[in-house]
Amino acid sequence: DAEDAEGASLPDLDLLHDPEDELLCANLMDVVQATLGRAPLGAKRCSRLLMPAQLLAQVRTELLRLACSEPCGLRGALLDLCVEHGKACHDVGHIAVDPAVVPTFQLTLVLRLDSRLWPKIQGLFASGPAFAPLKLSTGFRVIKKKLYSSEQLLIEEC
């Protein structure tokens, strides 16, 4: 059995067993959700952007996977948060995962508004309640850029 395990490549999940990064990522997801909750979508009106549980789980797995090859793991990440609708991309936040660590890589998380919601959102800006929760689509994109080398950008589409 030991021989088989050595020769085979490890599945992605086996690489993610860093309890510190797991905890860090859980905290990061809380910060991401709080940042989305404050995202200014219209001139004077606020809407909370909500991440469905499935999206949260997928993003978490993806961030851990991208961080596992980094010298400081997830601690060395800078996370830019964007919400995309159509061709427009709205910058909603920048998060240093661990401000005490010099960042080694930058992740840009591009979330998408559920396209079926857009007419309702436009209506929100004109009338209706000043505060309404909006769900994001479960599709997203993560762009990874190493800050210590001239390697190509890595773009993951999920």
Given a cut of 60, is residue 7 above it in pLDDT? no
Evaluate whether residue 86 is within a structural domain: yes
Strands (E), 41-129: 46-50, 77-85, 88-96, 105-113
CATH of residue 27:
3.90.470.40
- Residue 11: per-residue pLDDT: 46
pLDDT, tens digit (0-9, with 9 covering 90-100), for 69-126? 898 999 999 999 998 877 788 898 999 999 999 999 999 999 998 766 555 555 444 4
- Residue 17: per-residue pLDDT: 62
d(CA 45, CA 124): 8
Domain range for residue 68? Answer: 18-121+133-146
For residue 54, CA distances in Å to 16, 44, 140, 147 come to: 18, 30, 12, 30
Evaluate whether residue 88 is within a structural domain: yes
Evaluate whether residue 23 is within a structural domain: yes
Q: Using DSSP, state whether 98 is helix, strand or coil.
A: coil
Burial class of residue 85 in the structure, from the number of CB atoms within 10 Å of its CB (0-12 exposed, 13-18 middle, 19+ buried): middle
Given a cut of 70, is residue 130 above it in pLDDT? no
